[in-house]
Chain A
Amino acid sequence: MNDRMEQNLFRYIWSHSKRHQIWILIVVALSMPTYFLAFDIPKQIVNGPIQGGGFETPDATQKVMPVVVSNPFGDQSFTIFEGFEVGRMGALIALSLAFLGYVIINGWFKLYINTYKGRLGERMLRRLRYQLVDRVLRFPYPQYKRVRSSEIATMIKDEVDPLGGFIGEAFATPAFLVGQAGAALLFIMLQSWALGLVTLAILMVQTILIPKLRARLRRLALQRQLTARDLSGRVSEIVDGAIDIRLNDSTNFERADISDRLAKIFFIRFDFYQWKFMVKFINNFLAQFTPFVFYLGGGILAIRGSLDIGQLVAVIAAYKDLPGPIKELIDWDYQRLDVQVKYTQVVNAFDITPLSPPLMQQLQTGNVPHLEGPFVFRQVAAADESGKSLLQGLDLTIELRDHVAAVGATGDGAEVVGELIARLMSPSAGTLNVGAVALASLPEWETGRRIGYVSPEPFFAHGTARDALLSGLRHAPFRPPPEGKAMSQIFVREATASANPQFDRNADWVDYEAVGASTGEELAARITQVLAMVNLQEDFYAFGLRTKLSDATDGDGEEMFLNARRIFLERLTKGDNAADVEPFVLTQFNTQLTLFQNVIFGAASSPEMLPSEFPADSPLWDFLASNELDRKLYQLGREASAVIVDLFGEVSDNMKILERLDLIDPVKLPDYSAALGRTEGVDFATVVRMDQQRFIRVALNYNEPRHRLDLLTEDLRDAIVAARMNFRENLPPHVAAEFSFHDPDEINPYASLQDNILFGRIVDSRAGAVDRVSALLREILEELGLSYAVLERGLKYEIGSGGRRLSLSQRQQLGLARVLLRRPEFLIVNRGLNALDNRTVERVVRGILDMSKSDKGGFGVLWITSTESQAALFDRVLKFSRGALISDETAG
């Protein structure tokens, strides 16, 4: 199959839309007669009923709207229809109505043609865009390192966009315009040979000269496109590399570079405009030159009597319709050249060989065959892009169920073995077979399910952790979409019309069979198992406990969590470590909470309601002012600020230790320092409101066990508990709606799951309290069958674009979990956990090895690492050095 892209835009359009283009040409042809007839009507109206031609007597009648085919080159004509017999007034009405009728018919044709063209163009655009993305998915692997993603995106998104508009116009528009212009010209010819010839002559000049002038515009447009694409690539490089640029103080070079590029773009664009308006000027001049001839020449003919005034009016009216089509035709021609250039540009960028053939990626819903036989390397060599040898003369057999470690420093060749089996690169010499067949001959839909490959930098699309985990399982639409969510007929029809696949995005794409799960519960169990194996379960569990209860939509969990709270309290108080949690008691100050949390004694609906954020005119300030609480808070806040400014004042601003400084935003330290100076020895009442609030905010974030400045007095505690009551009872409804208060018998929707179950806070200073409480919590949630519900909440954590909201080690763990979840027959981990500490990695390796022996049929593992102690866990150890296998030992 020819997998090249068509280079010629017209051939591309024609081959994919012949039928439609022909149909539209037919419709255009059909629209012509009425279009032509409409020209003649104004003349008839003026000459006939209005000026009284043929109505010399009041009761004279005439036949209007005869259908006559006349021969412009002779006098004879054929009368097809004699016309209606009417009086002068009747003639005026009939002719005017006829004019209106033509207008409507012409308008309708235009509407139909435009709609049809629009749909045709959009379909072709969709087809082209889809084709381009499809090709990106089939690029040879090394190509991904060469292309800049933003350029590819720009091409698919922006550069092909004008093609959509043009494709519908490709054949129909020139046909229509030529027809229109031809009709107008023919009409002028019929009225006056002389004027017709003049018009034709000027037209010839216009159609030959203008495109020539525009050739330069085209070249400029091309340059404009290329420079703009470069700019977009460069800007994205600056964004991606901004950190390195700044750390190396090379920002100014970037400034120079960008300025230089912008200058080039400026001059190209400016040149373009100058030339564009020059061409416009010439074109307009030529277009207006023709009426000049009409007025002068036609006027003379009319005065001489060889042309009647009605004819002249009709000629001028017809000419009114001539520059339009001509101008559009010239524009069309320009657009044609422009889009052809753009098309060629884009197509060349995607015309990469060898593309992976479509069959390799064919959708497979049925059973995918298992791998058969070992991986056999025979004299395999591999080289990088530059031709540098990475691996030479490798002879190696790895059985499908082998557990092999490949050890070597980066660049020594160990990772190349993994990349070859994963087919990220192909051997430059030698053969690599799986069983009897070449590995390269296996389709991607087989290797992509049977072989698992984990790199140190897994990619995750924007979405939740759960999406990321399941993203390795989206092989095919295995189950139909839920009722009413299926692709509608019109979607299917349009997909066919644009040669897009009819795969339903809303279907269930998850390959449960690969997971080894047939129900939701089994999948849940499997996810839990895999996360535990990569040591990620606790992380997501913790994410789950931190989620607000209001984040989930299912209301039925509430009762269960309330139940969990009761059981937790019961067990905690029965045990030896009841003091591990300081419970929420309405009438008591809770030392584990900040002062603000103690005041509201509940949770806020949004971060805007937190003390560092709420606005200066918030009604909350009034509440804090009662009983002089604000004065006390101000005192505390000011003292705390003084200590912090004293301790941290000279610390550089990128200092890590400042992370501890959550009372004051480090960048605002100088403001606080200044405020301290201003308020020195000034009574609270006379301190300006801004400074009052500044220090009160600090106090509200204060937490004695955490900040340990020894500032909390008994008096202040009492005042805060008193304010809490006032706050609960007297808050105006619109403010109260922003908070939900702790209540022993109610779930607090704005508080975290953990706060809700513990109904108190862990006393951090008790050694082991966190672990003991977590264990108790786990135990209870497990008993109540809520464990997975919590984990699932954690899995709803948005991991951000590329997983950036996770740490590198979490990303690596998640990447491994994703592959483990789909149970490959052979797992390759290419330094996939190198951000984790060695002990954790060893634990993970042991887990994987256990799983690989017990799991249905078992699976093979190739673990690529630089660390010997990890390799020691494997049956067979391959050592690589300088691109060669130097030892291959199997443990007895």
Chain B
Amino acid sequence: MSLEEDALLLAKVELFTNVAPRRLKLLALASSRMLFAPGQDLCVEGEEGYEAFILVSGEADVKIKTPTGIATVARLKRNDIVGEMAILRDMPRTATVTAISDVSTLRIGKQDFLNLLKEFPEVTVEVMRSLAERLARTTSELANLRSATKA
């Protein structure tokens, strides 16, 4: 587990795909490794979050509360990111993520991330680009969904 490895890991995250490797190394330096035991929560739905996690190894389940009980909606593995929205804005966690094996993560603090954005505007632009792509995708999905429900 070294800086180099972590920077490579960050590069695989969608949000950072376009960011220059040197900057990612800085972000890696500002981040830290965090280990979760099976059953431990990476984040809890409804709680305030100040950090994002990138899974380095192990697997975790994403669960949300529904009127009929708790539903597992996804399983995260290596290179998946948890809570990336939390490092961009103040909002409660939208789901609970629980480790199902020993999980090793790279933890990115909100303040460290924002500091990086402030110092290097080009990183901000790249992150924005990723977000815009995602927004475009979501919008088209929504449009599809709407036309599907109308039909």
Chain A interface (Cβ within 8 Å of chain B)? 643, 647-648, 651-652, 655-657, 660, 705-710, 764-768, 837, 839
Contact = CB atoms under 8 A, between A and B. Distances in A.
B40 interface: yes
A651 B23 CA distance: 11
B3 A643 contact: yes
Contact of B2 (A710, A764, A837): A710
A709 B6 CA distance: 11
B22 interface: yes
Interface of B: 1-4, 6, 22, 25-26, 28-30, 32-37, 40, 42, 48, 90, 105, 111-112, 115-116, 118-119
A594 to B, nearest CB: 16
Nearest to A650: B22
A706 B25 CA distance: 14
Contact of A767 (B25, B26, B34, B119): B34
Contact of A765 (B30, B33, B40, B48): B33
Contact of A709 (B2, B34, B40): B2
Contact of B34 (A657, A660, A710, A765): A765
A708 B115 contact: no
B27 to A, nearest CB: 9
A765 B29 contact: no
Contacts of B34: 765-767
A705 B33 contact: yes
Contact of B3 (A651, A710, A768): A710
B44 to A, nearest CB: 12
A652 B90 CA distance: 28
Nearest to A764: B32
Nearest to A706: B32
A655 B119 contact: yes
A800 to B, nearest CB: 24
A657 B115 contact: yes
Contact of B115 (A643, A655, A707, A768): A655
Contact of A656 (B1, B6, B118): B118
B48 A839 contact: yes
B35 A767 contact: yes
Contacts of A767: 34-37, 40, 42, 105
Contacts of B36: 767-768
A862 B42 CA distance: 40
B99 to A, nearest CB: 8
B29 A647 contact: yes
Contacts of A710: 1-4
B30 A660 contact: yes
Contacts of B4: 710
Given A656-B119, A767-B37, 14 more contacts: A647-B22, A648-B26, A652-B119, A657-B119, A660-B29, A705-B33, A706-B32, A708-B2, A708-B3, A708-B33, A710-B1, A767-B40, A767-B105, A768-B40
Contacts of B30: 657, 660
Contacts of B25: 647
Nearest to A652: B119
Contacts of A648: 26
Interface centre among A643, A651, A767 (most CB of B within 10 A): A767
Q: Which of A643, A651, A657 has the most CB of B within 10 A?
A: A657
User: Top 7 A-B pairs ranked by shortest CB distance?
Assistant: A710-B2, A656-B115, A767-B36, A657-B115, A765-B33, A655-B119, A767-B34
B65 to A, nearest CB: 19
A657 B1 contact: no
B32 A647 contact: no
A390 to B, nearest CB: 32
From B25, B37, B42, B118, name the one whose CB has the most chain A CB atoms within 10 angstroms: B37
Interface centre among B1, B29, B30 (most CB of A within 10 A): B29
B146 to A, nearest CB: 33
Contacts of A705: 32-33
B116 to A, nearest CB: 6
A172 B116 CA distance: 75
Given A767-B34, A839-B48, A657 B40 contact: no
Nearest to B112: A657
Nearest to B30: A660
Contacts of A765: 32-35
Contacts of B28: 708
A839 B6 CA distance: 33
B47 to A, nearest CB: 10
B117 to A, nearest CB: 10
A657 B35 contact: no
21 contacts: A643-B3, A647-B22, A647-B29, A651-B26, A656-B119, A660-B29, A708-B1, A708-B3, A708-B29, A708-B32, A709-B2, A709-B3, A710-B2, A765-B32, A766-B37, A767-B36, A767-B40, A767-B42, A767-B105, A768-B40, A837-B48
Contacts of A768: 36, 40
A708 B6 contact: yes
Nearest to B28: A708
A660 B112 contact: yes
Contacts of B29: 647, 660, 707-708
Contact of B26 (A647, A707, A709): A647
A325 to B, nearest CB: 76
Contacts of B112: 657, 660
Nearest to A709: B3
Contacts of B90: 837
A657 B33 contact: no
Contacts of A643: 3
Nearest to B119: A655
A767 B51 CA distance: 13
Given A651-B119, A764-B32, A657 B26 contact: yes
B48 A657 contact: no
A837 B49 CA distance: 13
A766 B35 contact: yes
A316 to B, nearest CB: 87
A764 B48 CA distance: 21
B43 to A, nearest CB: 11
Contacts of A709: 2-3
Contacts of A660: 29-30, 112
A576 to B, nearest CB: 8
A657 B22 CA distance: 14
Contacts of B1: 708, 710
B148 to A, nearest CB: 37
Contacts of A766: 34-35, 37
A710 to B, nearest CB: 3
Among A652, A656, A710, chain B packs the most CB atoms within 10 A around the CB of A656
B56 to A, nearest CB: 11
Contacts of A657: 26, 30, 112, 115-116, 119
Contacts of A652: 119
B118 to A, nearest CB: 7
Nearest to B105: A767
B88 to A, nearest CB: 17
Contacts of A655: 115, 119
A657 B37 CA distance: 30
Contacts of A839: 48
B25 to A, nearest CB: 6
Nearest to B2: A710
A308 B36 CA distance: 116
A825 to B, nearest CB: 35
A60 B63 CA distance: 132
B9 to A, nearest CB: 12
A837 B50 CA distance: 13
B10 to A, nearest CB: 13
A766 B104 CA distance: 9
Contacts of B2: 708-710
A643 B4 CA distance: 11
Contacts of B40: 767-768
Among B25, B111, B112, B119, chain A packs the most CB atoms within 10 A around the CB of B119
A372 to B, nearest CB: 44
A362 to B, nearest CB: 49
A769 to B, nearest CB: 9
